[in-house]
Amino acid sequence: MYTHYWAISLLVPILAYLYAPAILDVVSGPPLSLVSNFYVSLLGRPQEATLGAFQGVLGVDNDFDYIVVGGGTAGNPVGTRLAEAGFRVAIVEAGPYYDVTKDGVHNIPAADVLNLAAHEKAKIPQMDWSFMTEPQEAIGQRKIHISRGKCLGGTSTLNGMVYQRPSTQAYDQWAEAVGDDSYRQESFEPFYKKSVNFTLPIHSKRLANASAPDDASDFASNNEGGPVQVGFSNWVSPWATWVEKGLASAGLAKTLGSDRGQLMGHHYTRTTIRASDSTRSTSVEYILAAMKKGITTLKVFTNTQATKIVLDEEKRVVGVKVWSKGAEYTLRAAKEVIVSAGAFHSPQLLMLSGMGPPATLKQHGIAVEAALPGVGQNMWDHVMFAPSWLINTPAAGAAFSRPYKLRKYIKQFKATRDGPLATNNVELISWEKLPAKYRTRFSQQTAEKLARQFAADWPETEYMAAALHVGNFAFPVLQQPLNGKSYGSILCGLNAPLSRGNVTLKSASAFDMPVINPNYLTDEADQQVAVATYHRVRDIWKTPELQSITIGGEYWPGDHVQTDEEMLDAIKKSLMTIWHPACTCKMGSSKDPMAVVDSQARVFGVQGLRVVDASAFPILPPGHPQATVYALAEKIAHEIIKASRGGL
């Protein structure tokens, strides 16, 4: 498992001296921390900056109409849209702002692989909250690292950049769960359009033997020039061409409607990467756009952590207590506070402020302001695993096992804005409900559960073509084989999970991480789907098209893994989150005792408080939630502004 671990760990100080001498001055801690910092140094440390006139000053800027807690994927859209409407708005972000005009680990797309690891030390330390789960009973007591962004832009600065919308019937399930038809596709979709600007890739930056995906049919009349840039990567690994052929041969046809509610099939991945310069596009785009518009009513407080929501005697929210540079301040809100701190910090902040399960609050000596048993409960997440093969076509992952090669690609990226660093490492994506031959492994109970809880167009499995060896996901960057050869993995994601987790308090302090227990694979149905998916992906690998580029048998976990029991054991030892935690402050009707917010994201039991981020999802739609987080933020901002204008 750790064949290459110590070899590279022992070499890192030498490599650091040869390639990035400055690293020796700042690194401390175990070898894995050294390795993480080493790669960050190679790619470029993010440079902290201020926001000029938008930079909030604590003790000076105190009074606002709206305070948004969390400058992330949801918080920045909500805050800037309200400021554009003329309201005085504060965005409170616990982390710094990193200059997006400077190249570095924060905006080079391929750097997303640095955080894609289960080990707690595998991270970009300047940008990651570094959440760790509790030991997971169903997967051998493993603790899993869940990366969440701690900087302006939030997790949009760390995620895999996949941009994709839900299936049509998933919208319907959302609408029915909350009793509000405005969440059906035809009504919700305009808010997806409002957030993005689609641009075709620059074909000249592609290798001659790589496919040139440029289908814009999903966006032809579906693009309103929003702040976030979406498109296809300028650079695509040649191996993705063969994966596409293999998927088609296995019955997964190309889909042209993946952003119109039709997920089943395969397509090249659309990402939040700018076509113009191949850099990551994040929710910071909203703030930069507001600057260009000359907005004067927005203040952004960076390096400032919210510690408590302040209520008056009538249980109306009147402000937020924040902490920065060793001092506490109170920001006052004349209208509302909007919590957009993510699936872990949003429920934590509510509980610290007296809103949550009464027993939990009392356990930590917190007065109950609103008894909401659903706060922190109902956690959904998507998980994945990935068999890997040695392949005979170029793949980007080999660069990370050879620092000298990585330096070459860094120079290429900076000079021409192309090459392996210009991709998110997941260049082709596909979804399906497992075919009938694989469903024979389901018990009757599993088949009934899946049919009952997930619509006909809701895929159970997702396949993502990754141009690197993944292995057990402990630290893929460090675990790339040292032979310099190319490896490919098809990541297998479970998109219809039935296991549910929870988030709770460790203490009454905002500075203690919440306790996170996703309960991965605790529902036996998830285990059966995972094993069936393993059989399916092996058959995909065995298509003539993919066999034409493979060398030998399955590299990891290996052909010796044959029985269902052996497959499940391999899955448990390598299971990794796709970083999609959601639903921990779930949306619902007032009749649902576990609902935390209504369909307008207003928290039950208090006045003047909303939760707008993935924690407010009533369900986690199939695929990747980034697009839906942006859309929800746009929708709620629109509803607030409309209500302020008398419904017009």
Number of domains in the chain: 1
Q: What is the pLDDT of residue 61?
A: 85
Residues with Cβ within 8 Å of 125's Cβ and at least 6 positions away in sequence, in order, are 33, 36, 37, 40
Give the E-state strand segments of 481-580 in sequence order. 486-494, 502-504, 515-517, 550-556, 576-577
Which candidate in 267, 560, 580, 638 is catalytic?
Answer: 580
Is 161 annotated to bind a ligand? Reply is: yes
The answer to whether 193 and 222 are in contact (CB under 8 A) is: yes
The answer to whether 484 and 401 are in contact (CB under 8 A) is: yes
Mean local confidence (pLDDT), 206-210: 67
Is 647 a domain residue?
yes
Is 250 a domain residue?
yes
Is 291 a domain residue?
yes
Is 222 a domain residue?
no
Confidence of residue 222 (pLDDT cuts 50, 70, 90): low
pLDDT at 287 over 60: yes
Mean local confidence (pLDDT), 289-294: 97
Confidence of residue 208 (pLDDT cuts 50, 70, 90): low
pLDDT at 24 over 50: no
pTM, two decimal places: 0.94
Confidence of residue 221 (pLDDT cuts 50, 70, 90): low
- Convert the pLDDT of each residue in 551-602 to its tens digit: 999 999 999 999 999 999 999 999 999 999 999 999 999 999 999 999 999 9
Is 159 annotated to bind a ligand? Reply is: yes
Q: How far apart are CA 45 and CA 68, in angstroms?
A: 28
Token match 């938008």: residue? 54
pLDDT at 146 over 50: yes
Is 33 a domain residue?
no
The answer to whether 361 and 368 are in contact (CB under 8 A) is: yes
- Residue scoring higher pLDDT (237 or 224): 237
In angstroms, how far is the first alpha carbon of the chain from the final one?
61
Confidence of residue 237 (pLDDT cuts 50, 70, 90): confident
Query: Count of CB atoms within 10 A of residue 366's CB?
Result: 19
Mean local confidence (pLDDT), 160-181: 97
pLDDT at 200 over 90: no
Q: How far apart are CA 640 and CA 632, in angstroms?
A: 12
Max avg pLDDT among 122-131, 304-313, 465-474: 304-313
Domain that includes residue 629, residue range = 47-99+146-196+237-270+283-648
CATH number at residue 521: 3.50.50.60
DSSP one-letter code for 583: -
Q: What is the pLDDT of residue 19?
A: 34
Residues with Cβ within 8 Å of 619's Cβ and at least 6 positions away in sequence, in order, are 170, 173, 174, 177, 380, 583
Q: What is the pLDDT of residue 219?
A: 64
Q: What is the pLDDT of residue 258?
A: 74
Q: Which amino acid is at 406?
A: L
Is 364 annotated to bind a ligand? Reply is: no
pLDDT at 15 over 60: no
Is 360 a domain residue?
yes
Is 13 a domain residue?
no
Confidence of residue 10 (pLDDT cuts 50, 70, 90): very low
Confidence of residue 354 (pLDDT cuts 50, 70, 90): very high
Is 162 annotated to bind a ligand? Reply is: yes
**Neighbour-count burial for 265-282, b at 16+ CB within 10 Å, e otherwise:** bbbbbbbbbbbebbbbbb
Which of 10, 87, 83 lies closest to 51 in space, CA to CA? 83
pLDDT at 29 over 50: no
The answer to whether 486 and 237 are in contact (CB under 8 A) is: no
- Convert the pLDDT of each residue in 635-646 to its tens digit: 999 999 999 988
Which candidate in 267, 345, 382, 624 is catalytic?
Answer: 624
Is 155 annotated to bind a ligand? Reply is: yes
Is 119 annotated to bind a ligand? Reply is: no
Q: What is the pLDDT of residue 215?
A: 64
Is 535 an active-site residue? no
- Convert the pLDDT of each residue in 379-401 to its tens digit: 999 999 999 999 998 877 767 76
Is 642 a domain residue?
yes
Which tokens go with 55? Answer: 């930079």
Confidence of residue 21 (pLDDT cuts 50, 70, 90): very low
Share of the chain above pLDDT 70, in %: 92
The answer to whether 55 and 299 are in contact (CB under 8 A) is: yes
Is 580 an active-site residue? yes
Residues with Cβ within 8 Å of 204's Cβ and at least 6 positions away in sequence, in order, are none
Q: What is the pLDDT of residue 211?
A: 64
